[in-house]
Amino acid sequence: MKNLYGETVASLCEDLVEKGFKPFNAKQVFTWLYKKKVYDFAQYTDTSKALREHLSENYVIRHLPISERHVSKDGTKKYLLALPDGHLIETVLMEQDYGKTICVTSQVGCNLGCAFCASGLFEKVRDLTPAEMVLQIVAIEAREDVRVSHVVIMGTGEPFDNFDNVMRFIDIINSPYGMEIGARKITVSTAGLVPGILAFADLQKQVNLAVSLHAADDKTRTSLMPINRKYPIKRLMESLQTYIEKTNRRVTFEYLLIAGVNDSLHDADRLVGLLKDTLCYVNLIPFNEVAELDYKGSEEKQHARFYDRLVSQGIRATSRRELGADIDAACGQLRIKEECDNL
């Protein structure tokens, strides 16, 4: 049976109409599920007995249990959730001035093998379903009794390697009959899968696009992100220009500052040269150090110098504050600890 959390209004409507029910019944069902948070079909009292029986016979409402919860001194919360097949995934809730942001995982493990990322220490096992992504939000909202206002698909995995499921997930949480999270409050992040970027451009969604760049030259970027061998910077930038032309939307470039690797003023100048005349801004990110890896984050002074260099040369930039370092909030760290402890 299908988990109801994996359905869009359109897909549920199609199923119901095919079985002789009315289109508005799908909206009724979603109101019970998302607005009233009632999980027993028998209690959907404004629907017919026949519809309730159809739902019970064809759908389930199944949630994800939280195995672990860690709270940072800065208010960031990280959760380990258990999937039905026994695999573990991570989700992070961040407290921001503008609301509550949840970082959603899209795959169990990751095949990209980025040198600085704990997620890459475990190869991809499988893609997450739309329901499993929706349920990360459902679980955390219920646990914390909060309303999530922003969603970033930046957890473990490469979203564009799970393209169809991620797009369906976005449709579900954006729907006025679902979670009603505005498109411009949703961000999908890619390591640079060019076919995914072009496919995303064709959809012309109002969802934000972020690209993990981390270096402005192919040699450095390839050492950090092996995907750069297949999709080098020139090809990546061409695909992003196509995205900008089709959507007229700005691209966010994520740039992790790693001491002695990509944080010199020369690196900053190369970044300026790469991004000039591009509709974008740069998000400079402090590096959450991973015990299993050798990289270190840039010192605060160097971080500030890098930022000032970008801004002085006309590049719009923000400097993200470090969140959750004391609770291993970097992608994959909590899962690593749990699985190593169980060896």
Q: What is the pLDDT of residue 340?
A: 37
Q: What is the pLDDT of residue 290?
A: 75
Q: Which structure tokens are listed for 338?
A: 């749990």
Give the C-alpha separation, 111 to 220, whole Å. Answer: 19
Q: State which amino acid sits at residue 232.
A: P
Q: What is the pLDDT of residue 39?
A: 97
SS3 for 29?
helix
Structural domains in the chain plus CATH codes: 2-60 (1.10.150.530), 66-341 (3.20.20.70)
Give the C-alpha separation, 220 to 261, whole Å. Answer: 8
Query: Which of the residues are catalytic?
Result: 90, 331
Buried b (16+ CB within 10 A) or exposed e, 90-104: bbbbbeeeeebbbbb
Average pLDDT, consecutive stretches of 10 residues, N- to C-terminus, the chain (343 residues): 97 97 97 97 97 98 96 93 96 92 97 85 91 98 97 97 98 95 98 98 97 98 97 98 97 97 98 97 89 84 97 94 57 46 42
Q: Which structure tokens are listed for 194?
A: 């060019």
Give the C-alpha separation, 90 to 110, whole Å. Answer: 13
> For 223, how many CA atoms within 13 A lie in the half-sphere containing its CB?
9
Q: What is the pLDDT of residue 323?
A: 59
Q: Which structure tokens are listed for 197?
A: 């970027």
Which among 84, 181, 168, 87 is positioned nearest to 133, based on CA atoms? Answer: 168
Q: What is the pLDDT of residue 325?
A: 58
Give the C-alpha separation, 232 to 327, whole Å. Answer: 34
- Whether the model clears a pTM of 0.95, i.e. scores above it, the answer is no
Q: What is the pLDDT of residue 341?
A: 47
Q: What is the pLDDT of residue 324?
A: 53
